[in-house]
Structure 1
């Protein structure tokens, strides 16, 4: 794959340079032919040199552009002033290729430079382009009309083209930055969702083992083996998630693998394994899944979001809640809106997770933010907060239709993610 990409890139690179070379040689030939139209050999040579300098100024790198452009414009103006004083001048063309390149230099200066830095090159090339027709032999009304058209129409038009291209470059760069920001957010959510859940399980099991040892309770070899096996399994799952994440970053063809829902790929039934795994090292978690949703085909983005909501909610219970005796996970169709799915995770802990807990070192405070972004991508909404009777609840409402933006993250979606992140609504 990498070698194929490199070969394609090299072939395109070579074709582009070959095409630019052909165009450059053709323009140089035209400059030479126009120079031969001059009546005197020194005048012909000077016309060729001036035209080639303008072409070189248009092709130089950005760091040399201002210097070369001002130099080329100065040479062109001097040549025009000198030829205007001679009795013998070119009878047909004053150098139309040079004139066209001077106008393009105005556009490039306005496009690539700020207003102050573009003033010098743009003004110099504009002056050179306007007076260049004075090199021709016959001075009549047509010549004056040509100069007027260049000054009133051509130069302002090239300035406007440069401004439009500058605006286009700015918008394109903003779009690219928004896409990069969206990708960073997506990778941050995936890293949090895949790894934090398993690492939290390792931390919780390790704390339980230390608490038991500190209390002076002697654990049997079977209990130790079972606890170490759980830690080993959680570590292996975290390592596997990290490998999948690294693979998706190194190879774009595997990027979709990180957005698949965990558990059973057939649908929501994989949540059973998630709640059972949580119950092994924490308070019992009861899953209630509406029968009509067990085998119902749902959009992949909705399935992924449901898994992430349940997973992150259980992880937060494990990290932050105290005195939890039971966790209820309910997934069903909203009675008042059959076209929407409701995901509810409720615990009966003592009080709710405090904002300080959400921002703790272990929590990081990004879990609910990532959930809000995921839910927003599928046109849903999420509510999280302490309950009146104690504990914490997370409720997400998702569409059951085909409106699935989470599975088709294109540039528009990434731009939306980069511009604004949805907020979590807290309720008492």
Structure 2
């Protein structure tokens, strides 16, 4: 018999996606009467990125069979990584195996009842959780780097206070945690002893979005704007498939919004480097790029096959350029007709939409995100004292 009464106990680091632990967990989940699998992590000292990817797949597969994963007795460093990465995913983390075993029957019964009553709804929820988990895994190294900067700069007591500061500032200004962490890592640090991070900053009003009149630009969060931009762009050409990517500090394109694609597509194109796709070319050239999916040499074989499987045959990518001329993102529209060009009217509307949204996104980065950084700096300074000169990128 398997299940919470007989925990699975791996020995050694979780350092590869096909670690034997994951197949053992899936077997235990199928054999368990309660559907809950308890994993004793007391002998695991390290979980690498490859190991975490394997854990993600294991969680997804276990959830799809109606199971639940309880992790227990992990060393503190491992437990901290798991708590940060697996927050709000349904995976529960316990200090001891005994605690996990006591909690398992009740939790498993509840999951079983929900699955029996609404299997399709539950499966969709679990798929969303797994997608969110993948996103957290991609974000974790950056957030950990931001925590390290806060620890050193403000002499905090540990990673938890640093994470709390990030989370509070993120929520107070409606800025994604990953966005705030990236800004903290890349924006020049405040002057030592300064009460303000940006003492000479002039706070400007949000630029207008004439093609999106329903949005109140000054009080709208970035997620709402990029979602509406993408849908307006798709409506302009009558497309049911599209995505919008933002430029990250490493000059890569990171998926921010999408419509009409499955999770495999979203995972594959989550982050795109220079020259890998038409959207990357549009960002590099700062102009509209049209591409025939079947023949364009920019695509790898794997990328081409995946895009063709969605029904897309032509893609139009438009760079979103701010008032300074800097490309801040790209939206791409996929259509089913091979060689489908845009009309002059469509191209004119999309060019204006890209320019307006680029100006707004640049304003958001320079105003709202910096408001969040200022909030974080003042809270940390008030609570812990003046910042150190040793952390973060220098002024320049």
TM-score over 0.5 (shorter chain): no
Relative to the length of structure 2, the TM-score reads 0.22
Larger Rg: 1
**TM-score, structure 1 length as denominator?**
0.21
